[in-house]
Amino acid sequence: MSGNNVSHAKNRTRRVFEPNLHNHRLWSEVQNKWITLKLSKKGLRIIDKFGLDKALEKYNIT
């Protein structure tokens, strides 16, 4: 998504809104190993809600 930075003087310059991604290392009980994922805050909330293994299964991530 893109938009403008607007200064106090109303000057407009183009900018890009990018997702807030972070690398996380999570333990998988089913696979019995650590999994490294690049996740957004929303992705972490989904994992907190369903658990890592159910979230991976639901969203077909391997």
Domain ranges, ordered by start, for the chain = 19-62
Under 8 Å between Cβ of 2 and 17: yes
- The alpha carbon dihedral of 31, 32, 33, 36 has a sign of positive
> How do residues 47-60 score in pLDDT, each as one tens digit?
999 999 998 888 87
Class of domain 19-62: mainly beta
Helix (H) or strand (E) holding 44: helix 41-50
- Cβ proximity of 19 and 7 under 8 Å: no
Quick: pLDDT tens for 7-46: 999 999 999 999 989 999 999 999 999 999 999 999 999 9
- Which residue is associated with the tokens 């990018």? 18
Are 25 and 38 within 8 A, CB to CB? no
| pTM score of the predicted model | 0.64
